[in-house]
Structure 1
Amino acid sequence: MKVVEEYYDVIVVGAGHAGCEAALAAARLGCETIIFTVSMNSVALMPCNPNIGGSSKGHLVREIDALGGEMGKNIDKTYIQSKMLNKSKGPAVHSLRAQADKDAYSISMRYTLQNTDHLTLRQGEVTELLVEEGSIRGVKTFSGAIYHAKTVVLATGTYLKARCLYGDVVEYTGPNGLQAANHLSQSLMDNGVELYRFKTGTPARIDKRSIDFSVMEEQFGDETIVPFSFTNKEEDIRREQISCWLTYTNEETHKIIRDNLDRSPLYSGMIEGTGPRYCPSIEDKVVRFADKNRHQLFIEPEGEYTNEMYVGGMSSSLPEDVQYAMYRTVRGLEHVKIIRNAYAIEYDCINPNQLRLSLEFKNISGLFSGGQFNGSSGYEEAAAQGLIAGINAARKCQGKEPVILDRSQAYIGVLIDDLVTKENHEPYRMMTSRAEYRLILRQDNADMRLTPLGYEIGLIEKDRYDKFCEKRRQIEKETERVRNIHIGAGKRVQEILVKNGSTPLKSASTLAELIKRPELDYECLAELDPDRVPLDPAVIEQVNINLKYEGYISRQMKQVEQFKKMENKLIPESIVYEDVHNLRKEAVQKLNDIRPHSIGQASRISGVSPSDISVLLVYIEQMRRRKNEKKVDAETGNM
């Protein structure tokens, strides 16, 4: 039989959220790219929660957009409800979240892939990596076809050797009953890739017609819509929104769960994989939080043209009969009909310590990896990694240096650094608390931080960059103007301050100083600023935040300067850690496993102490001096 052979620059394996971003990035950077999916129905599939964004995850989506990725644009097209979370708190933890029409989201992303130059979307299962002398050369599919490539991005999600479980029922499929990918794992192991077995889960989908919404709390979207993509304005995407609903479990629910724990594969030993600590099943919640007599449940629509509703907060792998019993104890779900059972899903993924910060495998040149395959959880975390993996796969083809974001630049930098540097024995979830510099890594300023880099990479077009530059100019100009407006302590000024709940002035001030007061802001002081001109709300937001939190931001920027000093102290790739005297054995082992890029990265490795870092700094300085001495000797002819 004649074997099909084709040639590409970049191959992407998997068309979930990571794969889509990787393939689009590579193609938009001019590389001939092919993306494989086991099923066209799984392109940008949302097999679990029907939303994009949320706490810290909204930051990731806006950073993806600021760099030129697609997720933000796609959810802006297909959302059915939008809400800014944590508005009662400071701007560092404000996070945008949108309910998605799942089918529309998938269809829209697939359409984008199919209409992008240099990109081919192909249904087929990749079963084997083609590796020669430590470098990737391409892949082989189940049909025997061979696809040659300069680089390959693995974005297999939860499909590798996947199996779905509830009770004693085991289905050897990927999510939503789609075909699993059962062959690639062996090829990975044959090439020395270390695999983990992780687990995640999803709640039941229920029939909207069987729900009594009258006894639930209606959850509305925001009146003011904030787009995910910086290319959109509110008027571009405003639409009539669809409500979600809030209800609760109760003691009866918990009793049914406790009485049937022995029938859950989580507790019976059937499940081998490790599940996510921060997104537990309802069985885990009842056991771990035994003092709680109820847990929140959000009833969320899966789309505009379906009656399927998602029961957020009630992920489970209990048997079918127990699922019916426990769901029907919940207020409003007494007569509920289940459309799809809740289930747990196990799958193969990698130990991400095998990757560089560029998301390239250390031991296989040209092979990159992104998404849940890297041991993370969540659509947003996956898309962020996919974007970086796709960018760097393309840049490798083009002979360019990789793009590496550090922890002071982006949540994406925190995410990748945590995965690659730290030990992860469970699915990794992004949280605002993981970001040391979250005051400057806000979701509102993602474009200020990353759009210049996106333009430099080549994913941000000239017209968009010009608009960004004008926005930045307006922010700087208005901030400076407000700093130079002097406000006297006259009667009218005092009345305006009192009206806004603020104390009167004892002496003259500037408008900027007044904005810094907690109870005041740029907008409510408009009466004191007759010369102000109309500005875009996004510009006003940045002016207000920059002034109000100026002291805190300045302090954090000084911390970043210290961080950068450590990040800029690079560790030579040729270093032999066994030769470093006084370095503890555990540190040698961990440093050899991770092979850190810099002293900063080395300092974040579990098992490497501050004293180890001091020893390492001295040794690297000695290496540098010896190298310089040899160079001088060579130039002077000394032997």
Structure 2
Amino acid sequence: MFNTYDVIVVGAGHAGCEAAASAANLGSKTLLVTMSLQNIAQMSCNPAMGGIAKGQIVREIDALGGYSGIVSDKTAIQFKMLNKSKGPAMWSPRVQSDRMRFAEEWRLMLERTPNLDFYQEMVSGLIINNGKVEGIRTSLGIEIKAKSVVLTNGTFLNGLIHIGDKQFGGGRAGESAAYGITEDLVKAGFESGRMKTGTPPRVDGRSLDYSKMIEEPGDIRPDKFSYSDETKALSHQKLCHMTYTSLHVHDILREGFDRSPMFNGRIKSLGPRYCPSIEDKINRFADKERHQLFIEPEGWDTCEVYVNGFSTSLPEDIQFKALSSVAGFEKVKFFRPGYAIEYDYFPPTQLKHTLETKLVEGLYFAGQINGTTGYEEAASQGLMAGINAHLKVHEKEPLILKRDEAYIGVLIDDLITKGTEEPYRMFTSRAEYRTLLRQDNADFRLTPKGFAVGLASEKRLRRMEEKFEASDKMVNFFKETSLTMAEANPVLEEKGSSAIVQSDKMFKIFSRPQLELDDFMKFDKVKEYAETNNLDREILEQAEIQVKYSGYIDKERNNAEKLTRLENFKIPVDFDYEQIKSMSIEAKQKLSKIRPVTISQASRISGVSPSDVSVLLIHLGR
């Protein structure tokens, strides 16, 4: 019935889709096995891609030749560049997505991918002999042989759904859990654990009063994820909205605490620290009188709405009563209640940097099975696992991204070297080289690597090289061209910046924080150069960032060198971390619990960011 495959991918979520696509596009005979072909690439939680640090990851996936950026662009209903008020290292693209079309587009792209087969059934076990994976076993007892296997099981491994005092097996609402794989892996010597995540209710948008909410429009000049010309920026966008909880809502929610699986001991595993349930928020932050709720449409045409910020596992009657007391939700109708789900994961310290397991050759883990949370984190791991499974099968050197090359490199290195005891989410603060790892230059950093392994096309590479050359030339133009006082001062005064007293180079003038790209274009010399060279806004923005950010890049490199020299600096055994006001709460908790002996050890603890380490060094007198 089946021939031997080069790569079998188990699970068709974000990690599984990227793994299958990358392995197949590289030339491996690939099989994607899922319990439901109708649920490929489901957005199990919020209908959105990108966000803080996550948007950088999506662009890195795209730069390497993955599909997530293209699918996100084709199915977006709103685009926002987050953190625009901060420096470019913090800018993070995010799209609101059409949930149904997102899944449909992913499936169609996979079906058009050569070398890729599909099979619908539950995988109940692995074939492992002499420390090497040789295939999978399905619930029907069918054995399918393979040279490598990538597990991307998401929340399905022994999944248990909680709603109030009710609990039942499931990997996602309306879908059964997967059994057998955990047991096989534990028999093979793997350590397993349990994690928890949750999701909010879905409601009928026709029952909401949007006039009582705050409008949240997309960007006036929307961008897109993919660096390719396969997609275009949105020409029109759908509105999102925002409203707030209240003290009255919080009181209603507390009525259900005695039946909450979070508080009565039914849920014993840890959930995402930075995406807590609404009951956890009002319990941990009792001083807060209200919390934001973002009302996100599920698509262009559907009336289904996602209530971002109201993740909960409280009893369904309490969920309804509390949400009905939120402004704009007085007549709300539920499509389904929120719930929490517990599932098995495997501490990622059991993996190599290729995402191949240390115990079983040819077996790879990607996504929530590694303890991460988020579509983007999962997709990036799937991409790298699929690439490396292909490379190993064909006896080629693996692709490993370093911490100064990609957020994907930071993510994988954090997992492998630090592990995680709670769902891991990527933040810009986790990357010590975030000035270098901007969302705008992911193609510069990674497209040559994607092309070298055979995933990014030559067309992609040429487009990147042309963009790099054009932006570099424009920066040199700024360095070589001067502005007179008569040319510069009217614009500088308009922007509240001090006037120049003699002619000066554009590069120096444009590095002022008050000036933006639109201000650059007020000068005839710049406008003429851009028009003569037919430069689009993407190139102009890249040149602007290189001009305004050059000093920060040099500073970051110096800081990195300092940290390297001090990595073996000793920390006093009785050091009081609570005295450090500017350190994150998470870092204080982790450092106080683990008591690292050196700065090097402290920097490897999950949740202790590079900025936390810098603050610690200052307090230690270095």
TM-score (norm 2): 0.89
Q: Is 1:505 aligned to residue 475 of structure 2?
A: no
The residue number in structure 1 matching 2:576 is none
Q: Is 1:518 aligned to residue 513 of structure 2?
A: yes
Secondary structure of residue in 2 paired with 1:298: strand
| Partner Cα separation in structure 2 for residue 605 and residue 546 of structure 1 | 31
The residue number in structure 1 matching 2:224 is 227
Contact 2:11 2:154 in 1 (8 A): yes
Alignment of 1:1-16 (within 5 A): 4-16=1-13
Cα deviation digits, residues 114-156 of structure 1 (max 9, x gap): 1110001211111111111111111111111111111111100
- C-alpha change, 1:237 and 1:517, in structure 2 (3 Å) is closer
Contact 1:66 1:230 in 2 (8 A): yes
The residue number in structure 1 matching 2:553 is 553
Contact 2:255 2:318 in 1 (8 A): no
How many angstroms does 1:556 deviate by?
2.1
Secondary structure of residue in 2 paired with 1:529: helix
Secondary structure of residue in 2 paired with 1:450: helix
Residue among 36, 48, 51 paired with 1:51: 48
Alignment of 1:465-614 (within 5 A): 465-489=461-485, 491-526=486-521, 527=523, 529=525, 531-534=528-531, 535-559=535-559, 604-606=603-605
The residue number in structure 2 matching 1:626 is none
Cα deviation digits, residues 179-235 of structure 1 (max 9, x gap): 21122111111111211110100000011111111111111111211110011488x
| Partner Cα separation in structure 2 for residue 5 and residue 465 of structure 1 | 37
Residue among 132, 136, 141 paired with 1:139: 136
The residue number in structure 2 matching 1:621 is none
> Match for 2:157: what amino acid?
L
How many angstroms does 1:73 deviate by?
0.2
Q: Is 1:148 aligned to residue 145 of structure 2?
A: yes
Secondary structure of residue in 1 paired with 2:384: helix
Residue among 402, 409, 420 paired with 1:424: 420
- C-alpha change, 1:504 and 1:157, in structure 2 (3 Å) is same
Alignment of 1:363-378 (within 5 A): 363-378=359-374
Name the larger-Rg structure: 1
| Partner Cα separation in structure 2 for residue 330 and residue 13 of structure 1 | 41
Secondary structure of residue in 2 paired with 1:34: strand
Residue among 21, 32, 35 paired with 2:32: 35
Cα deviation digits, residues 491-529 of structure 1 (max 9, x gap): 343223223332211122100001101111344133152
How many angstroms does 1:334 deviate by?
1.0
Alignment of 1:130-529 (within 5 A): 130-232=127-229, 236-489=232-485, 491-526=486-521, 527=523, 529=525
| Partner Cα separation in structure 1 for residue 397 and residue 279 of structure 2 | 47
| Partner Cα separation in structure 1 for residue 179 and residue 268 of structure 2 | 17
> Match for 1:291: what amino acid?
D
Contact 1:60 1:384 in 2 (8 A): yes
- C-alpha change, 1:398 and 1:566, in structure 2 (3 Å) is farther
Contact 2:223 2:234 in 1 (8 A): no
| Partner Cα separation in structure 1 for residue 271 and residue 438 of structure 2 | 29
| Partner Cα separation in structure 1 for residue 320 and residue 599 of structure 2 | 52
> Match for 1:359: what amino acid?
L
Contact 2:246 2:326 in 1 (8 A): yes
Contact 1:349 1:372 in 2 (8 A): yes
- In structure 1, list runs of 5 or more residues that go unmatched: 568-598, 608-639
Contact 2:76 2:234 in 1 (8 A): no
Secondary structure of residue in 1 paired with 2:440: coil
Contact 1:82 1:222 in 2 (8 A): yes
Secondary structure of residue in 2 paired with 1:197: strand
Cα deviation digits, residues 534-578 of structure 1 (max 9, x gap): 3111111111111111111122234556789999xxxxxxxxxxx
Secondary structure of residue in 2 paired with 1:175: coil
C-alpha RMSD of the superposition: 2.0
Contact 2:45 2:199 in 1 (8 A): yes
How many angstroms does 1:5 deviate by?
4.6
| Partner Cα separation in structure 1 for residue 354 and residue 302 of structure 2 | 40
Residue among 118, 125, 129 paired with 1:121: 118
Secondary structure of residue in 2 paired with 1:92: helix
Secondary structure of residue in 1 paired with 2:476: helix
> Match for 2:97: what amino acid?
A
Secondary structure of residue in 2 paired with 1:532: helix
| Partner Cα separation in structure 1 for residue 2 and residue 77 of structure 2 | 43
Cα deviation digits, residues 212-265 of structure 1 (max 9, x gap): 11111111111211110011488x242321111111000111111223211101
| Partner Cα separation in structure 2 for residue 286 and residue 343 of structure 1 | 17
Alignment of 1:46-85 (within 5 A): 46-85=43-82
How many angstroms does 1:177 deviate by?
1.3
| Partner Cα separation in structure 1 for residue 599 and residue 16 of structure 2 | 30
| Partner Cα separation in structure 2 for residue 18 and residue 492 of structure 1 | 53
Cα deviation digits, residues 355-410 of structure 1 (max 9, x gap): 01111101111111100111000000000111011110000011112111111111
- C-alpha change, 1:525 and 1:81, in structure 2 (3 Å) is closer
- C-alpha change, 1:600 and 1:440, in structure 2 (3 Å) is farther
| Partner Cα separation in structure 2 for residue 239 and residue 13 of structure 1 | 37
Percent of residue pairs identical: 46
- C-alpha change, 1:515 and 1:233, in structure 2 (3 Å) is farther
| Partner Cα separation in structure 1 for residue 25 and residue 565 of structure 2 | 34
- In structure 2, list runs of 5 or more residues that go unmatched: 568-597, 607-622
| Partner Cα separation in structure 1 for residue 501 and residue 235 of structure 2 | 48
Contact 1:422 1:604 in 2 (8 A): no
Residue among 89, 103, 115 paired with 1:92: 89
How many angstroms does 1:482 deviate by?
1.2
| Partner Cα separation in structure 2 for residue 435 and residue 60 of structure 1 | 12
> Match for 1:256: what amino acid?
I
The number of equivalent residue pairs is 571
- C-alpha change, 1:171 and 1:119, in structure 2 (3 Å) is same
Contact 1:354 1:362 in 2 (8 A): yes
Contact 1:113 1:121 in 2 (8 A): no
> Match for 2:316: what amino acid?
E
How many angstroms does 1:468 deviate by?
1.1
> Match for 1:548: what amino acid?
K
Contact 2:491 2:519 in 1 (8 A): no
Secondary structure of residue in 1 paired with 2:96: strand
Q: Is 1:102 aligned to residue 99 of structure 2?
A: yes
The residue number in structure 2 matching 1:577 is none
| Partner Cα separation in structure 2 for residue 252 and residue 497 of structure 1 | 51
| Partner Cα separation in structure 1 for residue 605 and residue 274 of structure 2 | 21
Contact 1:451 1:460 in 2 (8 A): yes
